[in-house]
């Protein structure tokens, strides 16, 4: 048996439906990523695979959680909240506040059936981990808005991890489908209790024609967790996506964020903030694929890296042949708070059209000594002065978070790093 | 109040201050003038506690040894440096910064902290006296401020933080006539019997308003000459080439 077979056997032995067999076949052909793959260059993929090979499926939903723990781990941001523990929907922890007609917000038992239902093509898995998610996922969280509907309060999907004996592997799955001309705000939080876990999360977001989606992905997992996430987003004509990725937790965390602009005049802004400290590793691998004309995209990712931690950003912009009037912009700025912190940044532009405005920029720096001295000379103690400058650095991204309570929650995590 | 004895400072082995002596009493205003490269800004930086200098000698403020203190401890001890080039800090709101600084000092001085609303009223009152646009409170610290706005923002801080010893480092540089007048009047109003001021400047124009009690000439890291306000006028007319006369203590 190969290592791939071993992992599938241990973690997804029971998956038998058609989608599962397709994913199994895909995995048998392509296997898992390795460190030589460009997109996995900065991630310790061998270490992750070794962890996964020793992992076991979750024993079942943990019974000892209550709502106050969910409030503590994920926050209450005013809208409706649904909670999954180790990939299983837990109604006792979830809200049943009514939603306007036509909305669906809850679990869907057969994830393999979801793409067809939502009209989102499943397509090939992104990589071996995505294939494993399709094989091993339990209940998917589904967010669906009807055409033209507008909901201001955020729809909050909480995926909690509760470790058991040994290393527990869970495979959360989330589908967001915003129908044409609808407007929704979604929060997807990953959090949990400390202990050895692998969270292998796949999300799919469809932004319908003229729809506006604010999508917040919060990775605030506990120590001991390896987090492998991917969010694939497709945008129809005239749609707008405002995505924010915040990474604060886990030991090793990686997010693949893929956005495809399928329709004309789609607009997308992707903001990200990662704040690894101690020996944490936080990686973002972002792709914006301009597959249609007159699209606008902006990527703005920031890292605040302390201790022996490492953070990386790989940002790819693709402009397809035959498209015109693309406006694409990317930046990655990093703040190193210690001499042993490390930041890696890699822009990656593939432009196959002429009528393009495309900019990118990256920096790695330290706290400004002049600014620190200025603040201290006014009596502000060193730790507070550092915290002020760190908060100022992070503020540009934090200000992009739509729900105010979530903004404050994230800001508090970042301020605590001074 | 301020007593400097045998102060030396070097950067990377290059000696900049070479045994500087200066004493300023409570209520006095002293000017230190000198050509570029004389060590004027180094003197300001060393007194405020900036990193990067090898410093020896003694500096005391009301008998407290300043050289052993961090910049924030010196501020708490009553020292205030108005920067020649106030630092732009994008993302840190000016009002938040000013209130944080004021409350940090008030904590050190065991005074109650000032709340946001009370502070706003207080800041606006001080700003009106300096002919400052109150909108500057809502901007990031010095970010995109004109030269005049930056210097007024320095004087605003001086006015709010109520230091015992004020060091003005080239506060008159880069100002047009109106801004110079507003800044000079603002500083002049802040003279107190229990407050000392050290005005570091290249030109005499700020001194016309402030009329210092003593004027010192700094050259090659030492005070080479001291006199009254007339000395400033003489230097302004004749330049720093004139170094005749006996150094006066």
Indicate the DSSP class of residue B84.
Answer: S
Indicate the DSSP class of residue B86.
Answer: P
Q: Is B73 helix (H, G, I), strand (E, B) or coil?
A: helix
Question: Is the CB of residue A139 less than 8 Å from the CB of residue A113?
Answer: no
Q: Which residue among A382, A392, A396 places its CB closest to the CB of B92?
A: A392
Please give the residue of chain A at the shortest CA–CA distance from B90. A392
* Best residue in B53, B86, B104, B106 for a mutation probing chain A (most A CBs within 10 Å): B104
**Residue among A15, A239, A214, A52 nearest A128 (CA):** A52
pLDDT of residue A384: 93
* A143 assigned to some structural domain: yes
Q: What percent of chain B has pLDDT over 70?
A: 96
Tell whether the model's pLDDT for residue A17 goes beyond 90.
no
- Cβ-defined contact of B157 to A378 (cutoff 8 Å): yes
pLDDT of residue A225: 98
B contacts of A382 (beta carbons < 8 Å): 70, 72
Question: Is the CB of residue A255 less than 8 Å from the CB of residue A229?
Answer: yes
* A268 assigned to some structural domain: no
Q: Is B14 helix (H, G, I), strand (E, B) or coil?
A: strand
Tell me the residue range of the domain where B73 lies: 2-248
pLDDT of residue B225: 93
Q: Which two tokens stand for residue A16?
A: 């038998």
Tell whether the model's pLDDT for residue B248 goes beyond 60.
no
* A341 assigned to some structural domain: no
**Are A250 and A385 part of one and the same domain?**
no
Q: How far is A390 from chain B (nearest CA, A)?
A: 9
- The residue length of chain A stands at 418
Number of domains within chain B? 1
Q: Which two tokens stand for residue A103?
A: 């909305």
Q: How does DSSP assign B199-248, residue by residue?
A: EEESSSHHHHHH--SEEEEEETTEEEEEE-HHHHHHHHHH-TT---S---
Q: What percent of chain A has pLDDT over 90?
A: 80
Task: Tell me the pLDDT of chain A averaged across its residues.
Answer: 92
* A339 assigned to some structural domain: no
Tell me the residue range of the domain where A378 lies: 367-418
Q: How far is A186 from chain B (nearest CA, A)?
A: 27
CA atoms within 13 A on the CB side of A238: 8
Q: Which two tokens stand for residue A127?
A: 């990589």
* A347 assigned to some structural domain: no
**Residue among A97, A187, A77, A85 nearest A143 (CA):** A187
Q: Kindly report, residue by residue over A250-275, the tens digit of the pLDDT.
A: 999 999 999 999 999 999 999 999 99
**Are A254 and A372 part of one and the same domain?**
no
A contacts of B72 (beta carbons < 8 Å): 376-377, 379-382, 385
- The residue length of chain B stands at 249
Question: Is the CB of residue A102 less than 8 Å from the CB of residue A150?
Answer: no
pLDDT of residue A63: 67
Tell whether the model's pLDDT for residue A363 goes beyond 90.
yes
Which residue in this structure is represented by tokens 């210097």? B151
Indicate the pairing of strand A225-235 with strand A252-261. parallel
Bigger pLDDT: A15 vs A320: A320
**Residue among B80, B87, B102, B88 nearest B199 (CA):** B80
Taking the C-alpha atoms of residue B226 and residue B232, their distance in angstroms, rounded to an integer, is 10
Q: Kindly report, residue by residue over A204-259, the tens digit of the pLDDT.
A: 999 999 999 999 999 999 999 999 999 999 999 999 999 999 999 999 999 999 99
- Cβ-defined contact of B97 to A388 (cutoff 8 Å): yes
Q: Kindly report, residue by residue over B127-171, the tens digit of the pLDDT.
A: 999 889 999 999 999 999 999 899 999 999 999 999 999 999 998
* A153 assigned to some structural domain: yes
Please state the separation of Cα A301 from the chain's center in Å: 13
CATH of the domain at B200: 3.40.50.300
Tell whether the model's pLDDT for residue B80 goes beyond 90.
yes
Q: Which residue among A368, A377, A384 places its CB closest to the CB of B100?
A: A384
The strand order across the sheet containing B214-219 reads B79-82, B165-169, B196-201, B29-33, B214-219, B222-227
Q: Give me the mean pLDDT over the B66-82 stretch.
A: 96
CA angle A94, A142, A223 (to 5 degrees): 65
pLDDT of residue A242: 98
pLDDT of residue B78: 95
- Cβ-defined contact of B75 to A396 (cutoff 8 Å): no
Element (H, E) at B67: none
Taking the C-alpha atoms of residue A325 and residue A328, their distance in angstroms, rounded to an integer, is 10
* A205 assigned to some structural domain: yes
Question: Is the CB of residue A297 less than 8 Å from the CB of residue A259?
Answer: yes
Q: Which residue among B74, B91, B97 places its CB closest to the CB of A395?
A: B91
A contacts of B94 (beta carbons < 8 Å): none
Judge whether B190 is closer than 8 Å to chain A, CB to CB. no
- Cβ-defined contact of A393 to B87 (cutoff 8 Å): no
Q: Which residue among A371, A380, A392 places its CB closest to the CB of B104?
A: A380
Question: Is the CB of residue A145 less than 8 Å from the CB of residue A176?
Answer: no
Q: Give me the mean pLDDT over the A194-213 stretch.
A: 97
The region of weakest confidence among A98-102, A121-125, B78-82, B237-241 is A121-125
pLDDT of residue A61: 62
- Cβ-defined contact of B87 to A392 (cutoff 8 Å): no
Rg value, chain A, Cα: 21
Q: Which residue among B81, B92, B108 places its CB closest to the CB of A388?
A: B92
Q: How far is B211 from chain A (nearest CA, A)?
A: 26
Model's pTM, two decimal places?
0.89
Tell whether the model's pLDDT for residue A120 goes beyond 60.
no
pLDDT of residue A370: 96
Q: Kindly report, residue by residue over A71-107, the tens digit of the pLDDT.
A: 999 999 999 999 999 999 999 999 988 899 999 999 9
* A58 assigned to some structural domain: yes
Taking the C-alpha atoms of residue B46 and residue A228, their distance in angstroms, rounded to an integer, is 51
The overall longest dimension of chain A from CA atoms, in Å, is 68
Tell whether the model's pLDDT for residue B237 goes beyond 90.
no
- Cβ-defined contact of B70 to A380 (cutoff 8 Å): no
pLDDT of residue A199: 98
Judge whether B67 is closer than 8 Å to chain A, CB to CB. no
pLDDT of residue A119: 42
Question: Is the CB of residue A220 less than 8 Å from the CB of residue A192?
Answer: no
A contacts of B76 (beta carbons < 8 Å): 379
**Are A251 and A371 part of one and the same domain?**
no
Q: Give me the mean pLDDT over the A125-142 stretch.
A: 90
pLDDT band, residue A111 (cuts 50/70/90): low
Which among A263, A293, A323 is the end of a domain? A263
* Best residue in B72, B114, B142 for a mutation probing chain A (most A CBs within 10 Å): B72
Beta bridge partners of B168: B82, B199
Please give the residue of chain A at the shortest CA–CA distance from B157. A378
**Are A371 and A224 part of one and the same domain?**
no
pLDDT of residue A112: 53
pLDDT band, residue A9 (cuts 50/70/90): confident
Q: Which residue among A380, A388, A393 places its CB closest to the CB of B72?
A: A380
pLDDT band, residue B183 (cuts 50/70/90): confident
A contacts of B75 (beta carbons < 8 Å): 376-379
Number of domains within chain A? 2
Tell whether the model's pLDDT for residue B244 goes beyond 50.
no
Q: Which residue among B81, B87, B91 places its CB closest to the CB of A370?
A: B87
Q: Is B58 helix (H, G, I), strand (E, B) or coil?
A: strand
Chains A, B: CB contacts under 8 A, how many? 76
Three-state secondary structure readout of chain A: CCHHHHHHHHHHCCCCCHHHHHHHHHHHHHCCCCCCCHHHCCCCHHHHHHHHHCEEECCCCCCCCCHHHHHHHHCCCCCCEEEEECCEECHHHCCCCCCCCCCEEEEECCHHHHHHHHCCCCCCCCCHHHHHHHHHCCCEEEEEECCCCECCCCEEEEEEECCCCCEEEECCEEEEEECCCCEEEEEEEEEECCCCEEEEEEEEEEECCCCEEEEEEEECCCCCEEEEEEEEEEECCCCEEEEEEEECCCCEEEEEEEEEECCCCCEEEEEEEECCCCCCEEEEEEEEEECCCCCEEEEEEEEEECCCCEEEEEEEEEECCCCCCEEEEEEEEEEECCCCCEEEEEEEEEECCCCEEEEEEEEEECCCHHHHHHHHHCCCCHHHHHHHHHHHHHHHHHCCCCCHHHHHHHHHHHHCCC
B contacts of A366 (beta carbons < 8 Å): none
Tell whether the model's pLDDT for residue B75 goes beyond 80.
yes
Q: How far is B126 from chain A (nearest CA, A)?
A: 17
Task: Provide the angle, in degrees to the nearest 10, between the axes of the packed helices B116-129 and B147-161.
Answer: 120
Judge whether B111 is closer than 8 Å to chain A, CB to CB. no
Judge whether B242 is closer than 8 Å to chain A, CB to CB. no
Which residue in this structure is represented by tokens 């990474």? A247
- Cβ-defined contact of A389 to B157 (cutoff 8 Å): no
pLDDT of residue A118: 46
Q: Kindly report, residue by residue over B42-61, the tens digit of the pLDDT.
A: 999 999 999 999 999 999 99
- Cβ-defined contact of A368 to B86 (cutoff 8 Å): no
Please give the residue of chain B at the shortest CA–CA distance from A387. B92
Taking the C-alpha atoms of residue B177 and residue A66, their distance in angstroms, rounded to an integer, is 68
């Amino acid at each position: 048996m190969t290592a791939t077979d071993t992992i599938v056997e241990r973690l997804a032995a029971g998956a038998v439906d058609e989608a599962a067999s397709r994913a199994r076949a895909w995995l048998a052909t392509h296997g898992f990523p390795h460190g030589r793959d460009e997109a996995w260059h900065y991630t310790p993929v061998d270490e992750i695979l070794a962890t996964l090979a020793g992992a076991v499926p979750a024993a079942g939903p943990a019974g000892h959680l209550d709502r106050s723990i969910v409030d503590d781990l994920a926050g209450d941001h005013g809208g409706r909240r649904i909670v999954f523990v180790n990939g299983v929907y837990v109604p006792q922890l979830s809200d049943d506040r009514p939603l306007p007609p036509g909305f669906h917000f809850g679990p869907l038992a057969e994830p393999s059936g979801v793409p067809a239902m939502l009209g989102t093509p499943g397509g090939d898995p992104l990589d071996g981990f995505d294939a494993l998610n399709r094989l091993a996922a339990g209940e998917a969280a589904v967010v669906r808005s009807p055409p033209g509907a507008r909901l201001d309060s955020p729809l909050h999907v909480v995926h909690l991890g509760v470790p058991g004996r040994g290393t527990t592997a869970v495979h959360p799955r989330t589908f967001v489908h915003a129908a044409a001309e609808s407007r929704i705000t979604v929060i997807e939080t990953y959090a949990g209790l400390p202990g050895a876990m692998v969270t292998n999360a796949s999300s799919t977001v469809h932004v319908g024609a003229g729809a506006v989606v604010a999508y917040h992905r919060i990775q605030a997992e506990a120590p001991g967790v390896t987090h492998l996430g991917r969010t694939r987003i497709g945008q129809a004509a005239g749609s707008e996506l405002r995505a924010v990725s915040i990474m604060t937790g886990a030991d090793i965390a990686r997010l693949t964020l893929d956005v495809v602009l399928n329709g004309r005049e789609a607009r997308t802004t992707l903001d990200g903030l990662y704040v690894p400290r101690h020996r944490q590793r936080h990686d973002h691998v972002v792709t914006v694929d301009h597959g249609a004309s007159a699209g606008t995209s902006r990527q703005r990712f920031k890292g605040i890296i302390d201790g022996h931690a490492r953070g990386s950003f790989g940002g790819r912009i693709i402009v397809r042949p035959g498209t015109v009037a693309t406006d694409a912009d990317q930046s990655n700025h990093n703040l190193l708070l210690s001499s042993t912190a490390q930041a890696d940044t890699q822009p990656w532009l593939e432009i196959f059209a002429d009528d393009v405005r495309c900019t990118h920029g990256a920096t790695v720096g330290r706290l400004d000594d002049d600014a620190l001295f200025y603040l201290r000379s006014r009596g502000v103690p060193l730790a507070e002065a550092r915290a002020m400058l760190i908060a100022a650095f992070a503020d540009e991204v934090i200000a992009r978070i739509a729900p105010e309570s979530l903004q404050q929650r994230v800001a508090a995590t970042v301020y605590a790093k001074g | 109040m301020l007593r400097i004895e045998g102060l030396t400072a070097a950067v990377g082995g290059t000696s900049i201050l070479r045994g500087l002596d200066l004493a300023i009493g409570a209520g006095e205003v002293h000017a230190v003038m000198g050509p570029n490269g004389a060590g004027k800004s180094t003197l300001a930086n060393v007194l405020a506690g900036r990193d990067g200098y090898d410093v020896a000698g003694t500096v005391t403020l009301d008998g407290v040894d300043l050289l052993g203190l961090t910049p924030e401890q010196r501020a708490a001890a009553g020292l205030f440096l108005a920067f020649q080039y106030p630092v732009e800090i994008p993302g840190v709101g000016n009002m938040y910064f000013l209130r944080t600084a004021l409350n940090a000092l008030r904590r050190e001085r065991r005074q109650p902290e000032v709340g946001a609303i009370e502070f706003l009223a207080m800041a606006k009152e001080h700003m009106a006296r300096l002919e400052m646009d109150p909108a500057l409170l809502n901007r990031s610290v010095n970010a995109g401020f004109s030269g005049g706005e930056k210097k007024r923002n320095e004087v605003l801080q001086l006015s709010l933080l109520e230091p015992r010893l004020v060091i003005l480092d080239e506060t008159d540089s880069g100002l047009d006539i109106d801004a110079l007048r507003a800044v000079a009047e603002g500083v002049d109003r802040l003279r107190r019997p229990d407050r000392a001021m050290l005005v570091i400047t290249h030109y005499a124009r700020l001194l016309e308003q402030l009329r210092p009690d003593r004027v010192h000439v700094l050259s090659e890291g030492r005070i080479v000459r001291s006199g009254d306000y007339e000395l400033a006028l003489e230097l302004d007319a004749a330049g720093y080439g004139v170094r005749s006369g006996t150094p006066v203590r």
